[in-house]
């Protein structure tokens, strides 16, 4: 396998209740899964190809739980990436050069056989993991906004984190409330409003999460 590594800040939003049932190994809130996610790559490589400073995103939709398959996916890669970088990110984000089940990208790709053409767009992000506040926009495709989960009594920001010692996406993530508006692309999301969102600092390789 080609050696690769990604260190990135991630923000994701899906249609489920806060916390995301997938993280607990149970079925999705509405019985289906719809999600959008962005990655702000701080440091990375694929073989000799440097990926520092690039961004990527994905839109995913499954008719049931992710593990039941038959989903669809569309990747978006930073328009500033050159041809080698585009090929590198395409390989990583579709689970190539990755041990079986080692990363969420491997799993998502395996469970989403209906793949739309990859788009190359401007991707803007403003993420603050510690405050659980963020926004991201993929030109002509989607926009995500996230904020802290409000305390049910006071309305004050309610901080919750999830640790996954054996997870394939992150070791720790901060939970938030998010919404996604799709404006183009080949996948439309219409259930993601004040639903689960999370922020995580990723460090992934072809063998999984680096801890």
Q: What is the pLDDT of residue 23?
A: 94
What confidence tier does 104 reach under pLDDT thresholds 50, 70, 90? Answer: very high
Residue ranges of alpha helices (H) inside 65-207 are: 83-93, 104-111
Q: What's the pLDDT tens digit per position in 151-189? A: 999 999 999 999 999 999 999 999 999 999 999 999 999
Q: Which residues contact 82 (CB under 8 A, 6 or more apart)?
A: none
Q: What's the pLDDT tens digit per position in 106-140? A: 999 999 999 999 999 999 999 999 999 999 999 99
Whether residue 108 contacts residue 90, with contact meaning beta carbons closer than 8 Å, is answered with: no
Q: List the Cα angle 211/51/94 in 5-degree steps.
A: 75
Whether residue 23 contacts residue 53, with contact meaning beta carbons closer than 8 Å, is answered with: no
Q: Based on the structure, what is the number of domains in the chain? A: 1
- Distance CA(172)–CA(129), nearest Å, equals 11
Say whether 114 sits in a helix, a strand or coil: strand
Say whether 181 sits in a helix, a strand or coil: strand
CATH number at residue 165: 2.40.400
- C-alpha to C-alpha distances, 113 to 96, 118, 123, 134, nearest whole angstrom: 14, 14, 25, 30
- Distance CA(108)–CA(92), nearest Å, equals 12
**Structural domain range at position 94:** 4-209
pTM of the model: 0.97
């Amino acid at each position: 396998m080609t050696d690769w590594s990604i260190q990135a800040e991630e923000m994701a939003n899906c249609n489920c209740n806060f916390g995301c049932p997938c993280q607990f190994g149970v079925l999705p809130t509405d019985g289906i899964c719809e999600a959008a996610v962005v990655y702000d790559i701080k440091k990375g490589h694929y073989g000799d190809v440097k990926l520092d400073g690039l961004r990527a995103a994905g839109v995913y939709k499954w008719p049931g739980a992710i593990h039941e398959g038959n989903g669809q996916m569309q990747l978006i890669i930073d328009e500033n990436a050159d041809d080698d970088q585009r090929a590198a990110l395409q390989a990583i984000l579709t689970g190539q050069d990755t041990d079986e089940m080692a990363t969420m990208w491997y799993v998502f790709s395996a469970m989403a056989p209906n793949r739309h053409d990859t788009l190359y767009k401007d991707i803007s992000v403003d993420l603050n993991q510690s405050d659980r506040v963020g926004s991201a926009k993929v030109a002509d495709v989607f926009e995500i906004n996230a904020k802290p989960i409000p305390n049910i009594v006071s309305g004050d920001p309610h901080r919750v984190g999830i640790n996954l010692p054996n997870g394939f996406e992150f070791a720790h993530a901060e939970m938030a409330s998010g919404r996604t508006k799709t404006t183009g692309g080949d996948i439309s999301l219409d259930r993601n409003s004040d639903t689960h969102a999370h922020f995580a600092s990723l460090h992934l390789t072809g063998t999984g999460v680096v801890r």
